[in-house]
Structure 1
Amino acid sequence: MFIKRNRVILSSVLIAASLVFVALMLLPVVGAFQQGNRTANNAANPAASPADQQKALEDQARGYELVLQREPDNQTALRGLLEVRIQQGNVQGAIAPLERLAKLNPDQTEYHVLLAQAKQQVGDTEGAAGVYRDILSRQPGDMNALQGLVGLMISQKRPEAAVALLQDTLKIADEQNKAKPGSINLTSVQLLLGQVYAEEERFNEAIAIYDEAIKTAGEDFRPLLGKAIVLRAAGRQDEAKPLFEQAASLAPAQYRDQISQLASGAQSPSDPANPVPEEPKTDAPSASPSGSQESSSPSRVTGTPSN
């Protein structure tokens, strides 16, 4: 229960701390879409009625669609239409511009991850899995895609498939990293596998994978924290306490409050502002389709890559 209660904090601290995202946050998609809608509309015209705000957004969408009829590959219009659909909370309507943007930007996986999340949210889990697997066929160490596909599998009650995916990734890590150094972050994949084991209460396997990560992770605090969390969940508080302390001493300042919260056994807050670390800022519109129900899946991708 401790592991599942604190899934948001666990995922953000154990996994997100290591990644260089355009930005990836853990928030439920519907809430994020609705929040984006309220924030954007109120900022644009706080005195307008909801009906007027929606009409203004639909007018903007029609304008972008007219441009796209003449110039279907106009990325400014595609991004504009995507932003409007997000502000409307219209996940289905966001899929078409996302598909086009993903096709036009094959190397910018943020669009592909966002597309997979949108497909998952509207119930197209097969399509979502296909997008994630396409990313991983080209970039097997892409942590956004790995987290997304693992989260999808967990939401489908397929933990063994998630374990197999991550174990296969670990098996090819040395070869991939020799060919392209840094292409698979071994520690991050181990941490994600440990989290899957922990959520399934396979504590011995989780501890074993965290021990492997500790041996090679140097000053990285996350394997220590992961092991401490699992020991605590297994009722081995005396063993967990020094690991929490060691993890806190190594962690960047922005994670120390979260580590203290985990060490104390507090439940993760329900405040929508939630305590996940701030993502890197971008000058692009935000989006957040995600399909994870009770999964460890990411996520909110905020930020749209520039041309």
Structure 2
Amino acid sequence: MKKKSSGKEIFKKVVVILSGISFFWFSASTVIGMLTNPQPAPSAVENPPVNNELVQEIEGYQLVLEKEPDNRFAREKIVEIHLQNKDLKSALPHMEKLVELQPENQQYQEILSIIKQGIEAEKNQEQPQEKPQE
């Protein structure tokens, strides 16, 4: 024999069903809104490569490094800022120093390797492709 559903069980089922429907509705409306009104791509004008705030931030961390040359936090932040600005050459010496300070840190070594590969790729792009002479 089955017991008749109590009021609490019916209430729980109604709440679950309404929650599912509302979740589906809000998800679908968001997707439809994104498809009908796509956001324009951010332009390069909105994000200048280096802004004044970042320059001041780098200068502040440089002052810290003058007093504490082995300050990992300052070096990490300088590397981070340079990488955000796609300035690999400026990030390289600081990353090399971080690897020197903590050679056991695998993440530092991987980032250093990536920076070096990026610099090499930039060099290859700057050099015109030589066509083989026939």
Aligned to 1:62: 59
Question: Greater relative contact order (Cα 8 A, min sep 6): structure 1 or 2?
Answer: 1
Q: What is the TM-score when the length of structure 1 is the normalising length?
A: 0.23
Q: Runs (4+) of structure 1 moved beyond 2 Å?
A: 49-53
Q: What is the TM-score when the length of structure 2 is the normalising length?
A: 0.51
Shift of 1:50: 3.5
- Specify which of 67, 75, 80 is matched with residue 77 of structure 2: 80
Q: Which string of whole-angstrom CA distances, capped at 9 and with x for unpartnered residues, describes residues 128-152 of structure 1? A: xxxxxxxxxxxxxxxxxxxxxxxxx
After TM superposition, the structure 1 = structure 2 runs for residues 151-230 of structure 1, keeping only pairs within 5 Å, are: none
Q: Which string of whole-angstrom CA distances, capped at 9 and with x for unpartnered residues, describes residues 142-166 of structure 1? A: xxxxxxxxxxxxxxxxxxxxxxxxx
Q: Pairwise CA RMSD of aligned residues?
A: 2.5
Aligned to 1:284: none
2:116 is aligned with 1:119: yes
2:104 is aligned with 1:107: yes
Distance in 2 between residues matched to 1:117 and 1:52, nearest whole Å: 20
Q: Which runs of 5+ in 2 are unaligned?
A: 1-41, 122-134
Shift of 1:51: 4.6
Distance in 1 between residues matched to 2:47 and 2:60, nearest whole Å: 20
Q: Which string of whole-angstrom CA distances, capped at 9 and with x for unpartnered residues, describes residues 67-116 of structure 1? A: 11111100111111111111111111111111111111111111112111
Q: Which string of whole-angstrom CA distances, capped at 9 and with x for unpartnered residues, describes residues 117-137 of structure 1? A: 11121118xxxxxxxxxxxxx
After TM superposition, the structure 1 = structure 2 runs for residues 260-275 of structure 1, keeping only pairs within 5 Å, are: none
Q: Which has the larger Rg?
A: 2
Distance in 2 between residues matched to 1:118 and 1:51, nearest whole Å: 21
Count of aligned pairs between the two proteins: 78
Distance in 1 between residues matched to 2:75 and 2:102, nearest whole Å: 12
Q: Which runs of 5+ in 1 are unaligned?
A: 1-41, 43-48, 125-307
